[in-house]
Amino acid sequence: MNPANVRVKSALAEKSIPCEITYLEHDTRTSAQAAETLGCSTSQIAKSLIFATADGEAVLAVTSGGNRVRTDLLAAVIGKSIGKANADFVRQKTGFVIGGVAPVGIAGPIQTVFDQDLFAHEVVWAAAGTPNTLFPISISDLYTLAGDRIYDFTEPLA
C-alpha cells in the first residue's frame, strides 16, 4: 500500500470510520473518469481541489464532480484572492499529488470549504491519496472529518 493511502486509512481509522480503498488499474484524475469506472454519477465524486492564496496559504475546496469552482465566489468566501496551485505547492501543503488529493490525511492544517451540492448524496467517493485509488464515505462523515464551511461557490460543468 502506498504511504499516501496509509495516511488516508489511518486518518479514517482514528475516527472509527471504516475505509475500503478501491484500487484501479488506471488513473482517474478526472471526476468523469472516476464515475465511469465506479459506475456512479459524476456528482457523487468528491473532488479535492487545492488553491493558493496570495500570501501562500492553501485552501481545500471539496466539490461535487459535476461542478466547477468559481474562483471569484471562492475568494469571496475565504476573504482573500486565490489562484491555481502548482504541483509542488499541492504536494508541499497536502502531502498528496494532483489527481490524488484526499480530503482527509492532509499533511497539515488547511482551510476547507465544502460545495453544498455534495449533500445531495448519502455516499460520495473521494480520492484516497493517489490518482488510482478512491474510497466511499458518507457525506456526513466526510464533512465531520474535513469540513469547515458549506457554501455555494461552484457552477455546473457545461
Please provide the size of the chain in residues.
158
How buried is residue 56: exposed, middle or buried, by Cβ count under 10 Å (0-12/13-18/19+)? exposed
Supply the range of the domain harboring residue 136: 3-148
* 153 domain residue, yes or no: no
The secondary structure of 114-157 as a DSSP string is EEGGGGG-SEEEEE-SSTTEEEEEEHHHHHHHH-SEEE--EEE-
User: Which CATH number fits the domain that encloses residue 106?
Assistant: 3.90.960.10
* 154 domain residue, yes or no: no
Domain tally for the chain? 1
Q: Alpha helices of 15-134 — where are they, by DSSP H?
A: 31-38, 71-78, 87-94
Encode the chain (158 residues) as per-residue pLDDT tens digits.
Answer: 799 999 999 999 999 998 899 998 887 768 888 899 999 999 999 999 999 999 999 999 999 999 999 999 999 999 999 999 999 999 999 999 998 999 999 988 899 999 999 999 999 999 999 999 999 999 999 998 887 788 899 999 87
- Tell me how far apart the terminal alpha carbons of the chain are, to the nearest angstrom: 36
* Interatomic CA distance for residues 62 and 46, integer angstroms: 6
What pTM value is reported for the model?
0.93
